[in-house]
Amino acid sequence: LVNELIRKNRSYRRFDGSHKVSDSILFELVNNARLSSSAANLQPLRYMIVNSAEKAQAVYDTVKWAAYLPDWAGPKVDERPSSYIVILGDKSYPNYHYIDAGIAVQSILLSAVEKGLGGCIFASTDKAKLREELDIDVDLEVILVLAIGKPTDKVILTELPPEGDVKYWRDDSDIHYVPKRKLEDIIVATFSERNE
Ligand SMILES: Cc1cc2nc3c(=O)[nH]c(=O)nc-3n(C[C@H](O)[C@H](O)[C@H](O)COP(=O)(O)O)c2cc1C
């Protein structure tokens, strides 16, 4: 089951614009992030749930979609996600925020995929503009923005040869391909007595 969720959990960048994710689902997703691991159990992450058309548009205007697809202007109005979750870090804690945020975002995405939803993580966002639009407290650092919606993108994983190009790409039918390194290319050593 986890194998399937991980394979389905792609970065989706086109959504069914008519599908509006409910507040309660977004709260449930963040609740799963809340229960995830945290370095020294400091739990420095804070969240903003963006689920109004006006604020979703404001967040949309700050994020950068698919840097490897320079000819694509991003999802059209009717392909945009209804919702965003902004992941923030309380600056008064030491620097474990980023690892915690990675774990949290994966918990959120896997939970979303299980519900037939999906998302895209954004590190590329105009943080100054986002802070202003969402009135983010100075004590909170913007770590990631996560788009959530009902995906319509078709995404296929392909094999990446050792010297191949990591860039994702789309074919003429707009199917999105994501090259992944092979297992033998990323396990650099195995110390084992059970090589059955
Ligand atoms: C930390 C992080 C930051 C990312 N930032 C962006 C971003 O700013 N814009 C974007 O379109 N995709 C972003 N992505 C999505 C990656 O491009 C995507 O994970 C990668 O192409 C592999 O595709 P996959 O998620 O379907 O495996 C980000 C992913 C991660 C993990």
Residue 175 scores a pLDDT above 90: yes
Nearest protein CA to atom 29 of ligand 1, as residue: 121
The string of DSSP letters for the chain reads: -HHHHHHH--B---B-TT----HHHHHHHHHHHHTS--GGG---EEEEEE-SHHHHHHHHTTB---TT-TT-----GGGS-SEEEEEEEETTS-TTHHHHHHHHHHHHHHHHHHTT-EEEEES-B-HHHHHHHHT--TTEEEEEEEEEE-B---EEEEEE-TTS----EE-TT--EEEEEE-HHHH------S---
Give 5 Cα–ligand 1 centroid separation in angstroms.
17
Per-residue pLDDT reduced to its tens digit, 32-46: 999 999 999 999 999
**Residue 128's pLDDT is what?**
98
Confidence of residue 100 (pLDDT cuts 50, 70, 90): very high
Q: What is the pLDDT of residue 195?
A: 82
- Residue 171 clears pLDDT 90, i.e. is over it: yes
Q: Name the residue of 65, 110, 122, 186 to mutate for ligand 1: max ligand atoms within 8 A of Cβ.
A: 122
pLDDT at residue 94 tops 90: no
Ligand 1 atom closest to Cα of 13? 11
- Kindly state the greatest CA–CA separation across the chain: 58
* Mutational test site, ligand 1, from 11, 145, 165, 170, max ligand atoms within 8 Å of CB: 11
pLDDT at residue 31, as a whole number: 99
pLDDT value of residue 95: 81
Stated pTM of the model: 0.97
